Structure 1
């Protein structure tokens, strides 16, 4: 009898434990902590069925900010998101750059710096909701608006349409991307409360069926949260799609535009999906600033009207390497690598006057939740200059490129047979041919975007968008004519995305006769190429080194490396590589005068510094503790 009674007790305990586990599982996956720590139902996501958003059935206002994981060193993700949280923001928004995640057909990268899932999970851990903006086109001032350049290998390609070649490529990318984010949706226990359908399609609008195609591509793969579109006020009507609420992008409140938004969707909540906190810069112009008072007064008015808002950018970061895009209207202008954007959090993660004003404003809308303390800032250091002690001419580096390739006519960058026949995306390309006379060289506007011209490796002049002719000196016998062409960045917006081929896009004429029989070298300057140069025949730097060329020096960082800023007085134009990583372009015309070098990019001890300089170099590279983005002007 005693034994039976003990067994019954164990059975009752076991049954009780099983019930508890079951209740916990249901509770865990159907409800999670809300903004103030209490639990909320996961059955109802973000809803726009009334004039105010609701989340889990309760009133909710989006206080959002944009930070792009691909523009911030992964080691600093947590720091930047904690600073966002401490500003009173409740929602993180981020674009997803197709060109970085799929650099070649069939090749996908969602690791390390591009680990989108880790980024979204980190946001959740810190108590931030997420609005995902997966494109496929994102603009974001990226080369080709974030579309991969290998799409342009198709001569009939029509980007951002239902053209079969583009639709097939989008479907292939979404087959990889969307399953990664589906489990991270709100109703499945994750932080994603909304997903944007494409971006600014109202300003493009070449295909009436395109937005329906993108919406269905998202939903058919499991996206079930609220959908939205985002357009400028003047293109709102042509950018939407049934089943997605419309949002606006602006920097100044326009009463008529807001009225138009309410007229289009009278019973939906209004959201400024991109309130531009500043702006981007182009080479040869000034550094653009938006006064803090102007910014906060507009945000205050948006909130006073009961609208939701997302700050673009809250923290801009950097377009490292050759990521930056370009403008086409009214003329071609390439963007600088800094994406500081005059945002509330600076390029290096520093607090600005805008940050403090916003923190004070948002704290009034925190619905009872206290705003966290502001995280401490990272130390910045002015390291000793790196003395350039070795030199490698461009011509001596050619044997380390992929190729060379022979072609009767010029081949543009995208159609080169490199990178597993995906073409070349970024960097430089060298075309060489033989000439037997001097005369007048004409580019016929076929140089994209800038070409240094050499005869027998001696510099004779420059082709730019507006300089279309060049005199070639007379000489005896057969000589080598070389054109080093730089892709300065593909246009990131506008209706001519299909026409963004780079390199030589047509014939170059000498005395009105097309040049023929080219030898072509691909100089994409990827990390693998820079690393291979360590085996090249470097020479001790002389007082008269040749250009273009590579220069090598060392930066010593003892202890835990700190953030710093690279400055190159006396250098003309090129790119800087630290331990093989491309920080970005520099150019003496400004406005940007320093390149941000995050501490996590450095090793404790010796760091290799390589500078590729096109025309005029110095012997030193300086490292300062403050940025210099150039002479500033207020945004009008």
Structure 2
């Protein structure tokens, strides 16, 4: 028997040594991560190898910023139980750097915590740091303050863009370098940009992005992702090209194999569904069609990443827009008809995929986690009211400008401009006549004279008749950024608000007072303390309405529906759930349980046009009438 004699002065060091030894032994016994960290993911033959052994990527995308942090573990456990071995996630630059000198990596934006949790779940990680990620985000995830530069050329080597990228990556990349496989973390590959060549082409850009990653310590396998138009043109030497598709096309595979022979093939974006836009139907991909394509991909020996495995929600003003064939704004839900629903529920696709992926595992898959209960709460009747005009005292500003200026150039947010929400422009008129907007309203303006509603400027309605009146009157235009397009050839032209002159009888209007209505948390917090009024019989619009949701015991997920309301935004306990619009398809907004307090919950709704003062809280989602994806 060996007897250790420990002096009192050394007990602390001995305890720390024992604790460290215990952690190492436990990690090596129970971690699914191999101890050897020399090789990593390799693409030097026709099949991926990982740590020297053949490896098939069975991936799925979940965006941490679209899921409440309290539900990260639940969603990743469900991913693991489906047979997924690799998590992919994109990094939204616009959310992490909302202003030039302000960076946010907290709460739902704690990327390091998310990646570490994936490792704890036994998932490998493919990171997509952008800088452009698309992902149906406003401006494709690029920060709007970039557009303050009139000469800005996004996704090029234009110095104003590359300098901004380097500043952001000086903050971001050091956070993820220690999380690479060779450094003991779960990151096995990093994607360089996204679909480059589709809508932008600068021969020096992709090499710049690649060098910017590697010079900051990125050393794992590099990937690029392409649709059929960019397989040849959008790659970069030293990065494995991958495919983006929804239906298998043998020609695309052949073209890819010609460009990079004897290299593994991965469908980096197999689209499990599609996004929705306001005014159309809810897009769905029949489960049998989706699974049939997945099986074909796997039978060909290819790797796959499901985009999305779980979509989540574009809370707040996060959602973008599409420009082709004409502008359409994206809805709040990012359900995407994915295998896991917006609220994390299992779908038929999930069960079918689990059956398929089971065949690629030597051990039984983990048990499927139980689902969270969904609750239909009592109706909320709005009992207090505050007109938009009364709420203006709680905004930053107002600001004066001789000519209209875009929201990005309003001197707010430490001179970074306004990113999202509404902007109110007011000027004085002395006559009636024809008001014309041309193409200078981005994206939708509600027009008032002396606070009386006149009409709406939108892309199909560029003229309004202004009634005659006596003396000076106030003309107001409440302009909404409905979402900057997230892809296309016109990213550089996505300035919002009034981007040029508005004419009355062919004379340009001048001398504007401008209010920024970004509706950030501090603004909503101030509204709670404001002098609200009892709801009148005939309230004015636009207006804020307030009510209370009462709960008892544990807080559950729910879905808010606004029958009789037209268009606006819903806030619960100061959190912006997103936009609603009666034109559909989306009919409910997802309310995660962690956002709900026990007992009293303050509900504020900003409504532009009309409402019936009642909110329903349901236990099921309603994303609208469905349409199969063609």
Quote the Cα distance in structure 2 between the aligned partners of 1:451 and 1:267. 55
CA contact under 8 A between 1:32 and 1:189: conserved in structure 2?
no
Structure 1 residue 234, shift from structure 2 partner: 2.2
1:407 to 397, 401, 411: 401
Match of 1:135 in 2: 130
TM-score, with normalisation over the residues of structure 1?
Answer: 0.95
Question: Relative to 1, partners in 2 of residues 1:172 and 1:27: Cα closer, same or farther, differing over 3 Å?
Answer: farther
2:628 to 617, 631, 634: 634
Tell me the secondary structure at the aligned position of residue 203 of structure 1: coil
1:511 to 502, 505, 508: 505
2:71 is equivalent to residue 76 of structure 1: yes
Match of 1:15 in 2: none
Quote the Cα distance in structure 1 between the aligned partners of 2:141 and 2:403. 29
Match of 1:556 in 2: 550
CA contact under 8 A between 1:251 and 1:275: conserved in structure 2?
yes
Alignment of 1:55-204 (within 5 A): 55-204=50-199
Match of 1:502 in 2: 496
1:447 to 441, 448, 453: 441
CA contact under 8 A between 1:31 and 1:41: conserved in structure 2?
no
Quote the Cα distance in structure 1 between the aligned partners of 2:373 and 2:166. 45
CA contact under 8 A between 2:31 and 2:122: conserved in structure 1?
no
Match of 1:337 in 2: 332
Match of 2:305 in 1: 310
2:600 is equivalent to residue 606 of structure 1: yes
Alignment of 1:22-33 (within 5 A): none
After TM superposition, the runs of 4+ consecutive aligned structure 1 residues lying more than 3 A away are 6-11, 24-40
Question: Relative to 1, partners in 2 of residues 1:437 and 1:196: Cα closer, same or farther, differing over 3 Å?
Answer: same
Structure 1 residue 153, shift from structure 2 partner: 0.3
2:341 to 339, 346, 353: 346
Quote the Cα distance in structure 2 between the aligned partners of 1:266 and 1:100. 39
Alignment of 1:371-520 (within 5 A): 371-520=365-514
Question: Relative to 1, partners in 2 of residues 1:625 and 1:28: Cα closer, same or farther, differing over 3 Å?
Answer: closer
> Which ranges of structure 2 fall in alignment gaps of 5 or more residues?
7-12
Match of 1:525 in 2: 519
Question: Relative to 1, partners in 2 of residues 1:198 and 1:39: Cα closer, same or farther, differing over 3 Å?
Answer: closer
Quote the Cα distance in structure 2 between the aligned partners of 1:514 and 1:10. 91
Structure 1 residue 10, shift from structure 2 partner: 8.2
Question: Relative to 1, partners in 2 of residues 1:31 and 1:305: Cα closer, same or farther, differing over 3 Å?
Answer: farther
Quote the Cα distance in structure 1 between the aligned partners of 2:291 and 2:57. 16
Deviations 1:496-553 (A, max 9, x none): 1000000000000000000001100000001111111122221100110000000000
Quote the Cα distance in structure 2 between the aligned partners of 1:7 and 1:616. 83
Instruction: Tell me which moved more, 197-206 or 183-192.
Output: 197-206
CA contact under 8 A between 2:32 and 2:122: conserved in structure 1?
no
> Which ranges of structure 1 fall in alignment gaps of 5 or more residues?
1-5, 12-17
Match of 1:589 in 2: 583
Question: Relative to 1, partners in 2 of residues 1:7 and 1:357: Cα closer, same or farther, differing over 3 Å?
Answer: closer
CA contact under 8 A between 1:29 and 1:189: conserved in structure 2?
no
Structure 1 residue 118, shift from structure 2 partner: 0.3
Structure 1 residue 369, shift from structure 2 partner: 2.5
Tell me the secondary structure at the aligned position of residue 312 of structure 1: strand
Quote the Cα distance in structure 2 between the aligned partners of 1:488 and 1:7. 74
Quote the Cα distance in structure 2 between the aligned partners of 1:58 and 1:35. 20
Structure 1 residue 38, shift from structure 2 partner: 8.1
Quote the Cα distance in structure 2 between the aligned partners of 1:259 and 1:222. 34
CA contact under 8 A between 1:508 and 1:514: conserved in structure 2?
yes
CA contact under 8 A between 2:64 and 2:109: conserved in structure 1?
yes
2:231 to 236, 239, 255: 236
Quote the Cα distance in structure 1 between the aligned partners of 2:338 and 2:33. 33
Match of 1:219 in 2: 214
Quote the Cα distance in structure 2 between the aligned partners of 1:128 and 1:138. 22
Quote the Cα distance in structure 1 between the aligned partners of 2:312 and 2:30. 27
Deviations 1:550-587 (A, max 9, x none): 00000011111000000000000000000010000000
Match of 2:9 in 1: none
CA contact under 8 A between 1:553 and 1:610: conserved in structure 2?
yes
TM-score, with normalisation over the residues of structure 2?
Answer: 0.96
Structure 1 residue 394, shift from structure 2 partner: 0.2
Match of 1:3 in 2: none
Tell me the secondary structure at the aligned position of residue 201 of structure 1: coil
1:256 to 246, 251, 258: 251
Quote the Cα distance in structure 2 between the aligned partners of 1:30 and 1:106. 43
Quote the Cα distance in structure 2 between the aligned partners of 1:231 and 1:50. 20
Match of 1:573 in 2: 567
Deviations 1:163-217 (A, max 9, x none): 1010000000000000000000001110000000000102023210000000011
CA RMSD, aligned part only?
2.2
